[in-house]
Amino acid sequence: MTGDEAVGLNGRIAVFITNTVGTMWCAYVFAAIALVSLPEAIKGGVATLIAWVAQTFLQLVLLSVIMVGQKVAAAASDKQALQTYNDAEAILKMQAEVHQLIELNNNLTAEIHRMIFEKQPPALPG
């Protein structure tokens, strides 16, 4: 196995773990795991309970919740980026059409100018 293949495998493993941990179901599982140690934290007094909340419950549960939030934000960002791209494409198409109309207008203006000042019949298209 080459170094690139190892990175590929590690990358696939990382994506799998990220997709698994970044779910609300995982947050619920982490909350349940953290709650197993709650009775001992309560017995330990206020300082132990505060440490349990900060170091156990919040860290475990918020990890998954933050990852879910990032997925939602990324999806919204991707949707906005796609809309911006589509808008830019539409603007470019409209710009090309306006350019064609301006060229046609310039040609017609030149033809009118020629007809007025040269007193010649218009050239037939084609």
- Summarised one tens digit per residue, pLDDT across range 57-109 is 999 899 899 999 999 999 999 999 999 999 999 999 999 999 999 999 999 99
pLDDT in tens, 112-126: 999 888 876 666 765
The pLDDT tens digits of the residues spanning 18-41 come to 899 999 999 999 999 999 999 999
Q: Per residue, what are the HEC states of the chain?
A: CCHHHHHHHHHHHHHHHHHHHCCHHHHHHHHHHHHHCHHHHHHCCHHHHHHHHHHHHHHHHHHHHHHHHHHHHHHHHHHHHHHHHHHHHHHHHHHHHHHHHHHHHHHHHHHHHHHHHHCCCCCCCC
pTM equals 0.59
The pLDDT of residue 1:
46
State percent of the chain over pLDDT 70: 90
Which residues have a Cβ under 8 Å from the Cβ of 4 and sit 6 or more positions away? none
Position 6 pLDDT exceeds 70: no
